Amino acid sequence: MKDRKFDVLAVGGVSVDLVLKTPHLPAHDEKVVGELVGRLSGGPAANFACAASRLGLKAASWAGVGDDENGRLILKDFEDFGVDTSLIHIQGQAETPFTVVMIDPTGEKAIVVIPTFQHEYSLETAAEALAQSRVLYTMPQDLDRFLALARLAHRHGAEVMIDVEANVCAERERLEQILAQTDIASFNQAGFAAAAGQPVSVEAAQLLLAFGPHTIVVTRGGAGSLAVTRAEVAEHPGYRVAVVDTTGAGDTFNAAFLAATLQGKSLEERLHFANAAAAISVTALGARGRLPTPAGIETFLEKGMV
């Protein structure tokens, strides 16, 4: 497994972020005056791939972009971060997916996603790519596609890590099908509450292990994170830092957690490392404004900032 071409294959989740700073996040029927920060490469799986590569993993992105300026921006950014783009398909006559990200002075955000087209994922290509990958990483929005890819991953000896948002948990049967094909499931607070039907706790997380994953991880923003396996339990507080922008913090956390997992670290060490990575990432504008390196995380941890 260690000699495979890719440590992780990140599927989908590619876009360009139109980033705006606002005095506060607008309420219903409210108009605010904002400041344009710029167009930045984004998308959850893409952010994850860039963070993973920065942390030393061999990362590849499998997605589609339009044959336009935004598509070229995404490809250039991947190249700058060392992410393999050989599986990215350029869709002619299509506009690259984009999001509108509004950031308030506290660094909190609101996001509007504009999925301009759906990329078709060939199972033949998937089989070839997964045979060369240690881990498949994705957000399971399309159930049939996810199940097909996850089964292929397992058939080729790769593990499956997912990022679970609240909308995925709306139907219990669907969620259970997803978890049955998952090895590492990472939830934010809203996603976990929707999945477990109760607030975040170690006991509630342990209940989700019964559906298939060997590891459940929950991020809680500034409050830190927790994780459980069948043999270990760990919790870690958040780090106190000057927050500029929380966009992509969860993606960076997941990349760092996976990197530490592949290094064979204990569950407590994985959370320690991943929390530090996420804390560093929120101290600059943009999801990739300050992606950490292993050396940067080590320096951060040595300062004892908690």
Q: Domain total for the chain?
A: 1
Q: Pairing between strand 233-236 and 184-187?
A: unpaired
What predicted TM-score, i.e. pTM, was given to this entire model? 0.92
Residue 116 domain-assigned (yes or no): no
Residue numbers of the domain that contains 150: 6-13+45-88+121-302
pLDDT (0 to 100) of residue 304 = 59
Low-confidence ranges of the chain (pLDDT < 50): 306
Residue 194 domain-assigned (yes or no): yes
Residue 28 domain-assigned (yes or no): no
pLDDT (0 to 100) of residue 15 = 92
Q: Distance between CA 73 and CA 48 in Å, rounded?
A: 17
Task: Identify the CA nearest to 98 among candidates 139, 142, 66, 120.
Answer: 66
pLDDT (0 to 100) of residue 107 = 86
Task: Identify the CA nearest to 135 among candidates 162, 158, 163, 164.
Answer: 158
pLDDT (0 to 100) of residue 306 = 44
pLDDT (0 to 100) of residue 161 = 98
Are the beta carbons of 22 and 147 closer than 8 angstroms? no
Residue 277's domain is classified under what CATH number? 3.40.1190.20
Residue 293 domain-assigned (yes or no): yes
